[in-house]
Every structure is written in C-alpha cells, then in structure tokens.
Amino acid sequence: MGLGRRLYRGEIDVDFVGKWRLWYSLSAVLLVISFAGLLINGLNLGVEFKGGSVFSFKPQTTVSVQEVRETFLEQGIHQPIVQTAGDRYRVTTETLAERQSLQMQDSISKEFGTPVDQVNVQSIGASWGGEVSTKALWGLVAFMVAIILYLSMAFEPKMALAAIVALLHDLVITAGVYAWSGFEVTPATLLGFLTILGYSLYDAVVVFDMIKEVTAKLGATSKQTYSMAANDALNHTLIRSLNTSLVAILPVAAILFIGTTVLGAGTLKDLALALFVGMIVGTYSSICVATPMLVTLKEREPKYQAIARRLASTGGGKGGAKRTAAAKG
C-alpha cells in the first residue's frame, strides 16, 4: 500500500528510459517466441476463414464433449472441433457434401435425441473466408496509414514511427499467444485485434502528449537532456496509464475466465483473449517500448545532442549523456 501511495503521489521516479536495454531484450524474447509459435503451430483459423461445415444443436440428454466428438469421428469426419455455448453444441468440420451433412444430422438426432429439423447446418466456402481475410488485411493497412498521418500532424513523424512500432509489437505478441494456445481465430478475434490497436494508440498518445509538453521547454540552457525530460513526463503519466489499464483489464478478465469457464460462453473467448493479452502488452509497450524508441530517435538530433554534451561537461545530465552515446552507437 505504501508503494501504491508513493507511486500515485509521484514520489517514485522510475528510470524507464535508462533501462531501455532491459525492455528491448524482453521484447525481443517475446517476439522471438511469438514468431516461433506462428511458424511452428500457425494460427488456428476458424471456419469463417478456411471454409467448412458447422453443426449447431441442443442435446436432449446430458452428453460430454468427447461423446459428441466420437459421434462425428464414427461418421468418418476428421478432426471435428467441438465447442459449447451454454447447453448448445457447435461442431466445426471440413466442408461436407450435402449427403454427408444429411447423414450427420440423422446421427446427431439418433445419438442425442435432437429433432432433425433442430440440427442447424451451415456451410461456408473457403473463397468467402479468403475474402474476409483480404478485407481484414486492407482494413489493418488503412488503420496504420491513418495513425501515421494523424500522429505526424498532431505530434511529429518520429512519434508516429515509435507508436507504429509499438502497435506492431503488440499485434505480433498477441498473435503469438493465439498460435501457442491454439485458440481459434474468428471474426470476433479480428474485432479484438482492432480494439487492441485503438487501446495501445490511446495509451501512447497520452504519454507522447505529456512528453511533447515537457520537452518543448528544452533549450540551450536547459538542465535536462531529452531523455531525462521524457522520463519525467513518463513518470507523471504512469499512474494514469496503470489505472486506465487496470480498469479496462478487470472486466475483460471476467469475460475470459468467468464467462468462458463458469458460464460456458465459449464464443466470448475469441474476443476476450485478444483484448486481455493486447491490453497488457499495449500498456507495457507504450511505456517501455514506444517511449525509449522515441528517445533513441530524438537524442540523435543535433539540438538535443548539444544539450547532453553541455550537461556532461558541467557534470550534470550523466544519464542523458550516456543515453546519447548509446543512441550514436
């Protein structure tokens, strides 16, 4: 509690910028793990993207997921994906011919007592899934371009570049979690990914706005380097970022862990996992990735290099001088 009060009052000054090697190393490890998951396991794309048949029904008797899976396997259907949503079952298979679908409906009716006309069957073509994927990709590209233009006009291009790198960092790590966990990627997942982009951008803009305000006062006689001023600005917005993140993460965690396990709302996990991981990683990246990267870019400018050299020669701004030397290297 004492630490929390001191943090809230701004009595603790954490050298986030000075520990850039730690943050970059941690991010590099997370990115390598994520890329490995994407290369080894790949993404478990839902039927909406790769095509297939979906059977939805409500058993009249108590059955287990394994019993439902075995019923489909007995009909020669390979790797059926069984999901529950309350008292209903949703089974995804490869694309089946009409005759196979009718046979599967009859088997479900006989095994679980569900009337044939209450066994819903939906077939989705792979071409439709490819169209969805293409539109999602173009939407992501358009979003990135809009972010670059907005941040370049509202702040400056270097801030836009740092924010974009942080966004890509968040997307790759979140995709890596999906690859290693095997969670299905559905249109709801894409909505979660877009929400991640907006949330991560919001956090970065809050931090960058404070940095812009503080560093605007730096001049030839300043007693702070750019990195020192940016770190002070980051510490002033730290408690706001943490509070915002915590308030947003708690309800998402409730959806993910309580809604999907206790209430059995399986379809919610597609959206909740992306939000849960993305919000945590987004908070981290706005503080520990975007800001140090911005400082790395800005410390290369002659104006801020001159400030760092002057302070170093007079015995002040040692941290900034070291940061500048690292940036040059």
The domain that holds 228 is classified in CATH as 1.20.1640.10
Q: What is the mean pLDDT of residues 76-97?
A: 80
Q: For residue 6, tell me if it sits in a domain.
A: no
For residue 156, pLDDT over 60 is answered with yes
Q: For residue 63, tell me if it sits in a domain.
A: yes
Residues 212, 117, single domain; the answer is no
Using CA atoms, how far residue 217 sits from 57, 221, 298, in Å, is 65, 10, 15
Coil, strand or helix at 93: strand
pLDDT in tens, 181-220: 888 787 778 777 777 777 778 888 888 888 888 888 887 7
Amino acid sitting at position 101: S
Q: For residue 268, tell me if it sits in a domain.
A: yes
pLDDT in tens, 226-278: 888 888 888 888 877 777 778 888 888 877 777 666 555 555 666 778 888 88
Which residues form the domain of 109?
Answer: 52-124
pTM: 0.76
For residue 328, pLDDT over 50 is answered with no
Give the Cα separation of 204 and 163 in Å (integer).
7
Instruction: Identify the domain boundary among 124, 155, 179.
Output: 124
Q: For residue 74, tell me if it sits in a domain.
A: yes
Residues 157, 285, single domain; the answer is yes
Q: For residue 152, tell me if it sits in a domain.
A: yes
For residue 318, pLDDT over 80 is answered with no
Percent of the chain clearing pLDDT 70 (strictly above): 85
pLDDT number for residue 260: 61
DSSP-derived letter for residue 221 is: T
The CATH number linked to 111 is 3.30.70.3400
Q: Residue 322: enclosing H or E segment and its boundaries?
A: helix 318-328
Indicate the average pLDDT of the chain.
80
Which of 98-102, 150-154, 239-243, 263-267 reaches the highest mean pLDDT? Answer: 98-102
Residues 32, 160, single domain; the answer is yes
Residues 216, 189, single domain; the answer is yes
Which residues are registered as beta bridge partners of 121?
55
Is residue 174 within 8 Å of residue 196, measured between CB atoms? yes
Using CA atoms, how far residue 96 sits from 20, 121, 146, 172, 291, in Å, is 53, 10, 42, 34, 51
Q: How confident is the model at residue 39 (pLDDT cuts 50, 70, 90)?
A: very high
Residues 63, 206, single domain; the answer is no
For residue 69, pLDDT over 70 is answered with yes
pLDDT in tens, 166-179: 988 998 999 999 89
Residues 107, 214, single domain; the answer is no
Burial category of 24 from C-beta neighbours within 10 Å (exposed 0-12, middle 13-18, buried 19 and up): middle
Q: 238: which 2 tokens?
A: 């730290």
For residue 322, pLDDT over 50 is answered with no
List for the chain the helix, strand, coil content (%; round to 5).
70, 10, 20
